[in-house]
Amino acid sequence: MMTRLWRAAPVLVLLAAACGGPPAPAATTPAPAPSDALRAAADSAAAARRDSVAAAARADSLARAERERVRADSVRMAVQHISSDTAPQAVAGGLAAADSALLADAIHFDYNRADIRAGDQAVLDRKLAVLAAHPRLEIQIAGNCDERGSDEYNLALGERRAAAAKRYLVAHGVAAARVAIVSYGKEHPLDPAHNEGAWTKNRRDDFVVTKGAR
Partner 1 sequence: MRGGALAAAAAMLAAPAVLRAQDSTGSAPVGVRVGITYTPGTRPSVAVLPVATATLDSVRAVLQRDLDFSDRFEVLMPPASVAMRGGAPNYPGLTALGTDLAVAVVAGPAGDVDVQLHDVRTGSIRSHLSVTLPAGGEPLRQAVHRAADEVVRWVTGSPGVAATAILFVSDGRLWRVDPDGQGLANVPAAGRPTLSPAWSPDGRTIAYTAFVPGGRPLVLQDLASGSREVVPGTEYGVNITPEFSPDGRRLAYAHGDENGTDVYLYDVARRCCVTRLTVGRYYDNLSPTWSPDGQRLAFVSSRPGSPQLYVMSADGSGQEALAPFDYGSTGQSNGPEWSPDGQAVAFHREVGGVPQVFVMDLATRTVRQLTGEGRNEDPTWAPDGRHLAFASTRGGVRQLWIVDLETGRLRPLVTTGGARLPAWSPRRTFFSEAR
For residue 182, give Cα distances in angstroms to 32, 61, 63.
Answer: 36, 21, 21
- The span of 31-39, 42-50, 124-132, 142-150 binding partner 1 (CB under 8 A) equals 142-150
Minimum distance, C-beta of residue 95 to partner 1, in the bound complex (Å): 23
Residue with Cβ nearer partner 1 (134 or 189):
189
- The span of 33-41, 56-64, 67-75, 120-128 binding partner 1 (CB under 8 A) equals 67-75
- The span of 47-55, 56-64, 93-101, 143-151 binding partner 1 (CB under 8 A) equals 143-151
Distance CA 182, CA 145 (A): 12
Radius of gyration of the chain (CA): 20
Interface positions, 172-191, toward partner 1 (CB under 8 A): 181-183, 187
Q: Using the CB atoms, write b or e for 164-196: b if 16+ within 10 Å.
A: bbbbbbbeeebebbbbbbbbbbbeebeeeeeee
Judged by CB under 8 A, the residue of 148, 172, 178, 211 near partner 1 is: 148
Minimum distance, C-beta of residue 197 to partner 1, in the bound complex (Å): 13
N-term to C-term CA, the chain: 29
Distance CA 211, CA 214 (A): 8
Residue 192 near partner 1 by CB under 8 A: no
Using CB under 8 A as the criterion, what x/- string covers residues 11-50 for binding partner 1?
--xxx-xxxx------------------------------
Residue 197 near partner 1 by CB under 8 A: no
Q: CA 105, 125, 204 angle in degrees (round to 5)?
A: 35
Judged by CB under 8 A, the residue of 58, 108, 126, 160 near partner 1 is: 160
Residue with Cβ nearer partner 1 (14 or 47):
14
- Please give the size of the binding site for partner 1, defined by CB under 8 A: 45
Judged by CB under 8 A, the residue of 112, 136, 193, 214 near partner 1 is: 112
Residues that bind partner 1 (CB under 8 A): 7, 10, 13-15, 17-20, 68, 71-72, 74-76, 78-86, 112, 114, 148-153, 155-160, 163, 166-167, 181-183, 187
